[in-house]
Amino acid sequence: MTGCDPGHKLAGMTTAFVPNQWYVAAYTREIGRELFTRTVCGESILFWRTADGAVTAMSDRCVHRRFPLGEKPSHLVGDTVVCGYHGFTYGADGVCVAVPGQARVPRTARLRTYPVVEQDSFVWVFIGEPERAAATRIPRAPWLDMPGWTVVSGMEPLAARASLLVDNLLDLSHETYLHGGYIGTPEVAETPITTEVDEEAGIVHVSRRMADAACPPFYANSTGLTGRITRWQDIEFTPPCLYLLHSRIAPAGVLPNDDGTDPDAFHVEVVYAITPETASTTHDFWAVARDFALDDQDVSDYLAASNRTVVLQDVAALDVLEQVISGEPDGYQELSINIDTGGLAARRMIARMRG
């Protein structure tokens, strides 16, 4: 049942970034007519909306003396960014259109720009060779921007490498111990999982189906269910960065109909976008979409507060783990058991993508 894995020592874990991928940089609501910066995969990027509403993404350093363009007194004037240090002015295409004191603008005065797409309430940015962006899939989380669903969401900074969050989310047995009293019950850790790797689609699936489980407060207080429940946790992870947890909650023994309809269950789509900030820090985007109590603000407030608490429990644990790992000599060994089957599959897929 147990085994040391010489193949997944720290040296083999994901510490660098997977290139040529779309990553979530922000929620669409975060980007407006104010300059906004976020570091993605070690690249500091400036975001803003043009007057017609399009999101632009470009390097956050003036080519002149490297002053951050997202730093005041840098500012927008129409559809240009004016550097707050010497006034170098850039258009939405990153090209410098004005410099102080002279008419000639050096041809090399332009900022790196990034392909950017707004989808499913996220702003996605392509990190890598821009010509590869169009042919690279952007994974979907449609419930975040779909009629019939209500969403709460947030983002927490994580002072730990992204691979630790991938490990965390692919093995939900930790809910029993780290998140007891919120989403964890004994049945989560006790219930075996099924893991599938769809190499063609590039997706890792981990399924845990609990037929008769206690209802944790997170679901009891949001659904109103008070007795035992049937609880399904179906993970769909698209490496390197988008994690979906299809959560189904119903009174114990209530299953979907033969035709696939499922009117007597509550469905929650828990979405995480795992965006490396640096090699040892991560943007932990989280969202919870539900198909019940759509207009109930109390339920929204409860789920938002509870899920943020759960995320912060993970953040506290992973921040400590990052400190431990970064303080250890390279090459320590871990021990993996059955619960780690999905996490190991995700690691291998990410390692292959990294090349």
Partner 1 sequence: MLRVTWLPGDDRLRGRCHCGAQAEADEPVAMWEWLLAHPDHPAGGPVSLDPPAARPPAHLVRST
Q: Give the residue, chosen from 8, 110, 283, 290, that forms a contact with partner 1 under the rule CB under 8 A.
A: 8
Please, which residue, 98 or 353, has the CB nearer to partner 1? 353
Q: From the CB of 147, what's the least distance to partner 1, in Å?
A: 32
Query: Does residue 199 belong to the site contacting partner 1 (CB under 8 A)?
Result: yes
Query: Does residue 312 belong to the site contacting partner 1 (CB under 8 A)?
Result: no
Q: Give the residue, chosen from 129, 196, 212, 301, that forms a contact with partner 1 under the rule CB under 8 A.
A: 196
Of 29-37, 84-92, 156-164, 323-331, the window that binds partner 1 (rule: CB under 8 A) is 323-331
CB contact set of 207 (below 8 Å; sequence gap of 6+): 193, 194, 195, 196, 232, 233, 234, 235
Please, which residue, 80 or 207, has the CB nearer to partner 1? 207
Per the structure block, which two tokens stand in for 13? 């874990």
Q: Give the residue, chosen from 198, 212, 298, 301, that forms a contact with partner 1 under the rule CB under 8 A.
A: 198
Per the structure block, which two tokens stand in for 85? 């240090």
Phi, psi of 198 (to 5 degrees): -100, 95
Query: Does residue 327 belong to the site contacting partner 1 (CB under 8 A)?
Result: yes
Q: Give the residue, chosen from 33, 194, 255, 316, that forms a contact with partner 1 under the rule CB under 8 A.
A: 194
Q: Give the residue, chosen from 192, 253, 301, 320, that forms a contact with partner 1 under the rule CB under 8 A.
A: 192
Query: Does residue 329 belong to the site contacting partner 1 (CB under 8 A)?
Result: yes
- Name the residue among 196, 172, 203 with its Cα closest to residue 185: 172
Q: Which of 259-266's residues contact partners 24+ apart within 8 Å by CB, and which partners?
A: 266/219, 266/222, 266/223, 266/225, 266/290, 266/291, 266/292
Query: Does residue 298 belong to the site contacting partner 1 (CB under 8 A)?
Result: no
Binding residues for partner 1 restricted to 33-62, rule: CB under 8 A: none
Query: Does residue 320 belong to the site contacting partner 1 (CB under 8 A)?
Result: no
Please, which residue, 198 or 298, has the CB nearer to partner 1? 198
Asked if residues 307 and 288 have their Cβ atoms less than 8 Å apart, the reply is yes
Please, which residue, 277 or 340, has the CB nearer to partner 1? 340
Query: Does residue 7 belong to the site contacting partner 1 (CB under 8 A)?
Result: yes
Helix (H) or strand (E) holding 251: strand 242-251
Asked if residues 210 and 231 have their Cβ atoms less than 8 Å apart, the reply is yes
Whole-number Cα distances in Å, 23 to 242, 282, 354:
8, 12, 14
Q: Give the residue, chosen from 6, 42, 130, 186, that forms a contact with partner 1 under the rule CB under 8 A.
A: 6
CB contact set of 198 (below 8 Å; sequence gap of 6+): 204, 205
Please, which residue, 136 or 338, has the CB nearer to partner 1? 338
Binding-site size for partner 1 (CB under 8 A) equals 30
Query: Does residue 297 belong to the site contacting partner 1 (CB under 8 A)?
Result: no
Please, which residue, 10 or 254, has the CB nearer to partner 1? 10
Of 74-82, 154-162, 179-187, 192-200, the window that binds partner 1 (rule: CB under 8 A) is 192-200
Helix (H) or strand (E) holding 156: strand 150-158
- Name the residue among 224, 228, 246, 249 with its Cα closest to residue 186: 228
End-to-end CA distance of the chain: 30
Phi, psi of 65 (to 5 degrees): -130, 20
Q: For the beta carbon of residue 66, count every other beta carbon within 10 angstroms.
A: 9
Binding mask 83-112 for partner 1 (x = CB under 8 A): ------------------------------
DSSP state of 74: -
Query: Does residue 345 belong to the site contacting partner 1 (CB under 8 A)?
Result: yes
For partner 1, the binding residues (CB under 8 A) are: 1-8, 191-199, 327-329, 332-333, 336-338, 340-341, 344-345, 348
